[in-house]
Amino acid sequence: MNADKNYYDILRIAPNATEEEVRKAYRALVREYHPDVNQTVEAAEIFRDIQEAYETLSSPDQRRAYNRLREAEGFDKSSALTLRGTVSHKYLLTNIEEQALYVLLDITPATDLPTARLPLNLCLVLDKSTSMQGMRLQQVKEGTRQIIDRLNDDDALGLVIFSDRAEVVLPSQTNIDKAMAKSIASTIQPSGGTEMLQGLLAGLKELERNRSTESVNHLILLTDGQTYGDEKDCLERAEWAGLHQISLTTMGVGSDWNENLLDQMATVSGGSSVYIDSPRKIVDAFKSTIRHLSSVVARELTLSINAASGITLTEAFQITPHIRRLDVQANKAVLGPLGTGHEKTILMEFRVQSESTASKKRLLRLTIEGDVPNKQDRRNWEWLDIFTEFISKQEHPPEIPPALVTALGKLAIFKMQEKAMTDLEQGRISAATQRLETMATRLLNLGETDLARAALLEAGRLARTGDLSAEGRKKIRYGTRALSILPKEIRRD
């Protein structure tokens, strides 16, 4: 046993591989490197390593001892993250100009990770403009009370309400007197217009009071109206927040708010935006946000994609928790926080230049880095290598893993929606109409009848009036991105 060698790497398996996987990996490698098959000096060395790795990892006792030894020597550090990759094509053909390859990456917190809840540093920034009057404001108050009930002593909460100006009704504090906080929430009275920037600035200022690198710093912004003239500043502040470990959940109620702005504000800060079509869903939105925040175990996740020569990334998307396009800069993409029960799935599409001879090749190394406050060594990283084999002739049609096909099918609809919106922005009304109609057909095939109906309705409206309704726009946008999570009655495995 030699702790300097990474036996898992040698066998090309994950550290959490099962005994069966160890055995399989070993057999496959023996077929490749056995001296009877491969007589090069290099192969002989690799073969020795393979033997050694298998001897250790195939015995549970020895494997445990080896893991302990590795950890003691500072290798591996029993990572906080688990990665699993699924490749669309196990084999690629030689002598084709160019071919597509898809990789699905699942990122989950390691099962042995301490799940102690991180302290929250939370600020609610709530729109109290006149349009919030009635059911909307009533539900916001109820949602706020529910959040207060779910706070621990070391959590900090601040409460800001805004209309034409902002007002801090509860300065950010820990050890909250819950009864007092709830009564403050109950006294909010509707008045005035919507000036979001004022609320955002006051909210961020409150968060500063209790911001630390140990806590989950988060701002929930809820509005039901358009803000005028301060969009650019709002976005800048959201970006600033993202750079200071503050993420934003932006919530829009009804249909009269700017989804582009709220969406972007959430994205640049590493948070997410929520469409609330009916006031009845406000409380649920609040509850699910606090649940999500309470489950965070890793923060500031980034993905690095290192591709071998001849391979280029064309597009990358987050599939779960909801579909969104990833902005990949210099081979890196920001993924935001990771919670238990909110595993992230990333889908990447590559173009591969074919090799001229049959061979096995490592195509990619995918690395995830993140800050895990519950681990002693907070900076954590984990990587995964993706291999493929170039062959000259394919006997059978390729078997594409169903998980990948399902994800791609939903992504295809999301992309169609993106394209329809671009068409519309650039004045290509009939192209946009047609796309919405095609989209409706695909949605029907998936059994998404409600969303299909909305798409058809909007296609009709578009053809007649040249524009979409504010409500339809939001329904389609938020509906398609949620395709990956909707639990369907017909879906069973």
- Give the residue, chosen from 101, 238, 298, 319, that forms a contact with another protein under the rule CB under 8 A: 101
In the set 229, 397, 427, 487, which binds another protein (CB under 8 A)?
Answer: 397
Tokens of 350: 């590559």
What six digits make up the tokens of 347? Answer: 């889908």
Token pair 């290798």 in the structure block, residue: 75
| Sole window of 57-65, 84-92, 225-233, 238-246 interacting with another protein (rule: CB under 8 A) | 84-92
| The binder of another protein chosen from 37, 100, 180, 485 (CB under 8 A) | 100
DSSP 79: -
CA-CA distance, 425 to 427, in Å (whole number)? 5
Question: Would you count residue 459 as binding another protein (CB under 8 A)?
Answer: no
Cβ proximity to another protein: between 197 and 364 the closer is: 364
Supply 459's token pair: 């296609």
Closer CB to another protein, 195 or 423, in the complex = 423
**Segment 210 to 229, residues that bind another protein, using CB under 8 A:** none
| Contact flag: residue 96 with another protein (CB under 8 A) | yes
Distances (CA, A) of 183 to 49, 130, 144, 156, 186: 68, 21, 11, 17, 5
Token look-up 């020795």 returns 48
Task: Select from 62, 405, 430, 485 the one that contacts another protein (CB under 8 A).
Answer: 405
Among 161, 293, 408, 459, binds another protein (CB under 8 A): 408
Does residue 341 touch another protein according to CB under 8 A?
no
Q: 170, 209 in Cβ contact below 8 A?
A: no
Q: Does 351 bind another protein (CB under 8 A)?
A: yes
* Alpha helices (H) in 60-188, listed in sequence order: 60-72, 135-149, 178-186
Part in contact with another protein (CB under 8 A); list of ranges 89-97, 237-245, 303-311, 461-469 = 89-97
| Residue partners of 107: CB distance under 8 A and separation at least 6 | 81, 82, 83, 301, 335, 338, 343, 344, 345, 346, 368
99 binds another protein (CB under 8 A): yes
Nearest CB to another protein, comparing residues 367 and 406: 406
487 binds another protein (CB under 8 A): no
Rg of the chain over all Cα atoms, to the nearest angstrom: 26
Question: Left, alpha or beta for 13 (phi > 0: left; psi -120 to 50: alpha)?
Answer: beta
CB burial class (10 A; 0-12, 13-18, 19+) of residue 277?
Answer: middle
- The answer to whether 409 contacts another protein (rule: CB under 8 A) is yes
Angstrom distance (rounded) from CA 276 to CA 287: 13
User: Is there binding between residue 128 and another protein (CB under 8 A)?
Assistant: no
Contact partners, residue 256, CB within 8 Å, separation at least 6: 131, 224, 225, 226, 470
- CA dist 145 and 137 (Å) reads 12
Distance CA 124, CA 157 (A): 8
Distance of alpha carbon 71 from alpha carbon 294, whole angstroms: 29
Cβ-contact 324, 307 below 8 angstroms:
no
**Closest CB to another protein among 338 and 416?**
416
Among 283, 386, 411, 436, binds another protein (CB under 8 A): 411
Name the minimum Å distance from CB 347 to another protein.
Answer: 11
Q: Minimum distance between the CB of residue 239 and another protein, rounded to whole angstroms?
A: 30
Identify residues 416-455 at the interface with another protein (CB under 8 A): 416, 438-439, 442, 444-447, 449
Smaller CB separation from another protein, 228 or 387? 387
Q: Does 333 bind another protein (CB under 8 A)?
A: no
* Residue 287 binds another protein (CB under 8 A): no
Per CB under 8 A, does 92 bind another protein?
yes
User: Does residue 299 interact with another protein by CB under 8 A?
Assistant: no
Range in contact with another protein (rule: CB under 8 A) among 158-166, 170-178, 208-216, 397-405: 397-405
Tally of residues, the chain: 493
Q: Would you tell me which residues interact with another protein (CB under 8 A)?
A: 88-89, 92-93, 96-102, 351, 397-398, 400, 402, 404-406, 408-409, 411-413, 415-416, 438-439, 442, 444-447, 449, 488-493
